Amino acid sequence: MWLVADGHRLGTRYRAAFRRLLLEQFRLQAEYGGGVRVALAEGWRPQPDYTVTRELDVAVGPFTLVQVERTAVDPSAGDEWLQMVLHWQMPERFPLNLNSSVKLVNSSGENITQADGPPANGLIMTGERPRLPLPDFKVLHLPNSLAAGLYRLEVTLYEAATLKPMGQGVPFEWLRVGPPPPPPRVPVGAAWRNGLVLLGHGGLPERLVSGDVISVTLMWSTRQPVLDDLTASVQLIGPGGILVAQDDRPPLRGFYPTSRWLPGETVLEETYTLSLPQSLPPGLYRLVVLWYDPATLRRVPVLAGGDALEVARWTR
């Protein structure tokens, strides 16, 4: 079946469901003056099973990403493709034709794979003033060697004619490859007033030794959306309330901000490092954790009271 139409009519004359059906089934074959496009559908094209759908409000250059649909990632099932649909809300009478670039990035900031191209499979250009949010179909090829861990999707817009980017890449979705972290060795279940939860922690030393380096593994989650991007602090408080050692950092060193955590889905395991001084006077030592806003240094209250949660204590 052949489809001959101009991009402006495709973007303005059809209801969203029918327009999406056309964009899914037809593939661009030729383009002529005045925005006329010729597309072909060769039999029914089965659509991916988009098992994940997110409602968003993410500004990317002059556009707003209002929704994303994507397939699940399951390396054990032999999946080699990550398929998605981005839905763009655009300003009225936008004059430029933009393409999008979607990248899959690991927690070290390494670009694993990417897909570039125009939204709507090239059948409707962004400069043709589509009235409804414009679907943007992307397919990412996943390498067979993709390691288990946390990844995120980033998107950039750029001018189709000049390749000039419209700002920096913007993260919009986080996903886990492989199984989630195992349950913590020591369950805690303490919560902060903004919904953040310390599910538990790993093993801790039985005693403190001067000059040692202590690794503290914490498992975090959230019960509700978190409005701010916060920093976690793990501190060892010595006799007289003196700060002996600490490790402060945003989640995964900023890779996964707390404002993007998903209640009931996000489970994040992170290890903090405390370097003990060469001299530890006798007395009581307390291991505490807390969250604070890095812009104001204001701490988030713990649900049970106070602004820091004691995790362990030792006496020397």
d(CA 98, CA 155) in angstroms, rounded, equals 12
SS3 content of the chain, % helix, strand, coil (to 5): 10, 45, 40
Read off the pLDDT of each residue in 12-20 and give the average, rounded to a whole number. Answer: 91
**Residue 82 backbone phi and psi in degrees, to 5:** -115, 115
Q: Is a pLDDT exceeding 90 seen at residue 126?
A: yes
Instruction: Band the pLDDT of 148: cuts 50, 70, 90.
Output: confident
In order of their start, the domains of the chain are 48-177 (2.60.40.10), 186-315 (2.60.40.2550)
Question: Which residues contact residue 183 at a Cβ distance below 8 angstroms, ignoring those fewer than 6 apart?
Answer: 199, 200, 219
User: Which residue, 303, 149, 152, is CA-closest to 223?
Assistant: 303
Closest by alpha carbon to 167, among 179, 159, 178, 175? 159
**pTM summary value:** 0.90
Q: What is the mean pLDDT of residues 171-192?
A: 94
Residue 77 confidence (pLDDT) above 60: no
Alpha carbon separation from 210 to 216, 233, 286 (Å, rounded)? 17, 21, 15
Q: Is pLDDT of 80 > 90?
A: no
pLDDT for position 147: 87
Share of the chain above pLDDT 70, in %: 98
Cβ atoms of residues 193 and 298 within 8 Å: no
Alpha-carbon Rg for the chain, nearest whole angstrom, is 25
Q: Which two tokens stand for residue 58?
A: 């993410």
Q: What is the pLDDT of residue 70?
A: 96
76 phi and psi angles, rounded to 5 deg: -65, -20
pLDDT of 210 strictly over 80: yes
What is the average per-residue pLDDT within 256-272? 96
**Amino acid, res. 169:** G
Tokens of 82: 């990550």
* pLDDT band (50, 70, 90) for residue 146: confident
Q: How confident is the model at residue 76 (pLDDT cuts 50, 70, 90)?
A: low
**128: number of Cβ within 10 Å:** 19
**Looking at residue 52, what is its pLDDT?**
95
Give the Cα-Cα-Cα angle 250, 255, 256 (nearest 5 degrees).
Answer: 75
- Angle (nearest 5°) at CA 106 between 104 and 107: 140
Q: Of all helices (H) and strands (E), which one includes residue 147?
A: none
Residue pLDDT, tens place only, 218-252: 999 999 999 999 999 999 999 999 999 999 999 99
Cα–Cα distance between 142 and 81 in angstroms, integer? 5
178 — pLDDT class (breaks 50, 70, 90): confident
Q: CA-CA distance, 26 to 23, in Å (whole number)? A: 6
Q: CA nearest 199: which of 177, 211, 184?
A: 184
Q: So what's the pLDDT on residue 295?
A: 96
Whether the predicted pLDDT of 78 surpasses 60: no
Confidence at 134, pLDDT banded by 50, 70, 90: very high
